[in-house]
Structure 1
Amino acid sequence: MRTPLRRRVTLYALALLCCTSVATAGPAGAAPTPEPRAAAASAESAAPMAVTFDENFDGPAGSAVNGGRWQIETGDNVNNHERQYYTAGNNNAALDGQGNLVITARKDNPGNYQCWYGRCEYTSARLNTAGKFTAQYGRVEARMKIPRGQGMWPAFWMLGNNMGQVGWPNSGEIDIMENVGFEPGTVHGTLHGPGYSGSGGIGAGYTLPGGQAFADAFHTFAIDWSPNSIRWSVDGNVFQTRTPADLGGREWVFNKPFFLILNLAVGGYWPGDPNGSTPFPSTLTVDYVRVTTDGGGGTGGSITGLGGKCLDVAAANPANGTPVQLYDCNGSAAQQWSRGANDSLRALGKCLDVKDNSTANGAQLQLWDCAGTGNQRWAVSGANDVVNIQADKCMDVTGGASVNGARAQIWTCTGAANQKWSVNA
């Protein structure tokens, strides 16, 4: 497909943020094969988390969003040649009385709004949490039903909270979900920062199987965000993970607070303009927006063992079933562990897991979706043992070998050197 020119523009002026226009990009890719337990171990079945932002859009039908959490942006966007004018209040963003926010794009202009091209042809809405809420790390998700039709451009995304000071793209941008109407079955997740913005954004696409369209049902779009790692998923199916290693030496600007944005654009360089087949009004329906952090509250640290080497997720791969091993310490996200809810140990947004729920000597350790089960519960003793609570056995380096790639397993606790760990998580 062509490399699109994509947007970001901030339409308001605040002490926190200046009016800034920006552009983004990221080509679509084929959907990966879902991981074996992805459906069963989705976000909804994960271990309990600490909720820091929970917007369920409860309220009377027709009422505006909670002004204590959201502000409404107004104006047009010449930078991307979008066609809509974003209106204030509840004109184009209102609760439906059933626990949803409905952002409506209409082919109308009752306020005689003026756009970059003359009298505006369309109205819509854009909301953000700047000055009201920011997130730094954790799971950021929204359950939404997006519109269909040529020229429609719904998005759920984030901007660095220091944008007013450093501008875009130095502030950083995390696109959790974007869709353009000519790709009804594909959404995109993208990073933008200094030297990798506009058409150079770093990202990938996720495509529903079997020719399904995202407009046909609600879907959950999420990132799991930790220091030096961001992982995207749709309905619990992970489709990409990005770390500083993906940036080719360019600056990673995502270890700081970001605010949230929801909007429905009409037209622009990337989606193209609506045509006679585009239905109006078109709606983006948002069931909830939620931000959670793991119960441990930490940003993570290393677990070092035999030979001074680190407990490591092989190839920094967040897929279910990835081996956990010993490897030279390098400070990467694959070696950053945090203590989470239900006595879990987490890296790359997933949990340290005993394969096949086994309690036998030699059962290997792997990464898996956090489920709060016994094979993911760990205790750290004062004697530097890391004990699987269910099996009552110690984390152990296979064969007592300190070579890179030596697999981690559980074994009856013996006090041997290959079972001793320094836990900084």
Structure 2
Amino acid sequence: MSSPRTLRRWLTAVLSAALVASAAVGTARAEPADTATTAATTAAASADGAAAAAVTFSDTFDGPAGAAVDSSKWQLETGDNVNNHERQYYTSGNKNAALDGQGRLVITARKENPSNYQCWYGTCQYTSARLNTAGKFTAQYGHIEARMKVPRGQGMWPAFWMLGTPVDWPASGEIDIMENVGFEPSTVHGTLHGPGYSGSGGIGAGYTLPGGQAFADGFHTFAVDWAPNSITWSVDGTVYQTRTPADLGGRSWVFNKPFFLILNLAVGGYWPGDPDGSTVFPQQLVVDHVSVTTGDSAPGAAVRGLAGKCVDVAGANPANGTPVQLYDCNGTSAQRWTAGSDGTLRALGKCLDVTGNGTADGTPVQLWDCTGGPNQKWTVTGARDIVNPQADKCLDVTGNNAANATRLQIWTCTGAANQKWTVG
């Protein structure tokens, strides 16, 4: 599966901590030895100042296959849900929520009733699972994300969301980071619910994959960047809506307080409708990681170069081989870079990579799974260059061209403006 283990680690070493403290990156060759450092060393040296972006919650679901989730982080709700007219019975333990032994949580919906569970409509027809962090962890502001692959089929309703504390819905608030209903395979929704704008009257928007792609075909990262009086939603680093109190038409904004996290896979209900003859069971919501990073509105930091533009992952596409380019700074995750403890520079869970392990002038850089190879190591110093030590060459804007989408490459360090980089 295309689920790089390194993706789960990138939030733990934040480039903003590594670079903001020094406010610059530079060429090892052009500086005295005591000013040159790897990205990892810089991150460690400035760890005391890393409060700007700290991981406060993380679950990478490591453990043996079949094990239940970590009970210090999650609790499982049990029973049915008459409020939405859902059809499933939520079970405890590892019956419908278990680790797969490869660093993922699998929530499984089955058409079964092994224990004669009773639901609001009579004998239950389906089982599934719903997990929350109530009483164990709450967030108030920060970057909240999960990387998941959703199920497919009529009647499926996976969700990653939050409820305000203490719960008094809708007055206490609800933030839906991601919901998908099976009859819309290419679309997910992000929604706010509160007093006077709940249920079908929630405030939100949808995000649709291009070209008829289905979310069930692969993993995607769903996130919100949450600050006082502002919540921004993104999919794979692409922002698709921001909500503020101005969107509520004078109604109360109830999102400046702690919320807890919820993951669940519902079957049926008012919104998705019930499964039909086309729905294949079992169906699975596969969760690669969940993390909460507080402080900065998004993890990592922008790296600016020629004409004040940013180092950017083209199209916010996390696929291997995606070009890394120069682009207008826009604050999305495609432009937020962190320093790995191994000397890598990372965005969207993958590494800044010199294509083909090349060392020649003009070799382009790209995004790639973190492999630990020398073509993914970078040295940073106070001369404001970024150097690949294997090639002994600098990160360079091709042709000194400040136009959007200009490809980045490595080139012999010259001290020119197209090789100078700063943070912010």
With normalisation by structure 1, the TM-score equals: 0.61
Of 67-76 and 100-109, the range deviating more from structure 2: 100-109
Distance 1:101 1:269, change over 3 A: closer
In structure 2, distance between residues paired with 1:108 and 1:68: 28
CA 1:168/1:96 → structure 2, altered by over 3 Å: closer, same or farther?
same
- What TM-score do you get using the length of structure 2 for normalisation? 0.61
Is residue 43 of structure 1 aligned with residue 7 of structure 2?
Answer: no
**What SS does the corresponding residue of 1:418 show, helix, strand or coil?**
helix
Match of 1:408 in 2: 408
The answer to whether the aligner puts 1:364 opposite 2:368 as a matched pair is no
- After the TM superposition, which residues 258-269 of structure 1 pair with which residues of structure 2 at under 5 Å, given as runs? 259-265=261-267, 267-269=268-270
CA contact (8 A) 2:76 2:129 kept: yes
CA RMSD, 1 decimal:
5.2
Q: 1:52 aligns with which of 53, 58, 78?
A: 58
Report the residue type matching 1:351 in the other structure: C
Inter-partner Cα distance in structure 2 for 1:263 and 1:416: 54
**2:207 maps to what in 1?**
203
Structure 2's unaligned 5+ residue stretches are 13-56, 226-231, 249-254
Matched with 1:193 is 192
Residue 310 of structure 1 and its aligned partner are, at CA, apart by 3.2
| Bigger proportion of residues as helix | 2
1:147·1:284 contact (CA, 8 Å) conserved in 2?
yes
On the 8 A contact 1:47/1:372 being kept in 2, the answer is: no
Offset at residue 300 of structure 1 (A): 1.6
State the distance in 2 between where 1:47 and 1:128 align.
20
Per the alignment, residue 345 of structure 1 pairs with 345
> What residue number does 1:70 align with?
74
Higher relative contact order (CA 8 A, sep 6+): 2
CA distance in 2, matches of 1:326, 1:106: 53
CA distance in 1, matches of 2:66, 2:77: 22
Query: Structure 1 residues 206, 122: closer, same or farther in 2, change over 3 A?
Result: farther
The separation in 2 between residues aligned to 1:94 and 1:404, in whole angstroms, is: 45
Q: Percent identity?
A: 37
Q: Aligned pairs, how many?
A: 353
Q: Deviations over 1:153-204 (max 9, x none)?
A: 252523256684884896421237x463x79xx5754322379985964133
Q: 2:178 aligns with which of 168, 175, 180?
A: 175
1:8-407 equivalence runs, <5 A = 42-44=3-5, 49=10, 52-55=58-61, 67-84=71-88, 86=89, 89=92, 93=96, 104-106=110-112, 110=116, 113=119, 115=120, 119=122, 121-122=124-125, 124-131=127-134, 132-133=136-137, 137=143, 140-141=146-147, 151=155, 153=156, 155=158, 157-159=160-162, 164=167, 167=170, 171-175=174-178, 178=180, 180=182, 186=185, 189-193=188-192, 201-204=205-208, 221-223=219-221, 225=223, 227=225, 230-232=234-236, 241-244=237-240, 259-265=261-267, 267-274=268-275, 283-284=282-283, 290-291=289-290, 299-314=299-314, 316=316, 318=318, 320-407=320-407
Flag the 1:257–1:53 CA change in 2: closer, same or farther, 3 A: farther
- Check the 8 A contact 2:377/2:388 in 1, yes or no: yes
Alpha-carbon spacing, 1:90–1:128, altered in 2? closer, same or farther (3 Å): closer
- Structure 1 regions of 5+ residues with no counterpart? 1-38, 233-240
SS, match of residue 351 in structure 2: strand
Counterparts in 2 of 1:165 and 1:402: CA distance versus 1, 3 Å: farther
Partner Cα separation in structure 2 for residue 409 and residue 381 of structure 1: 19
Cα distance, 1:386 vs structure 2 = 0.7
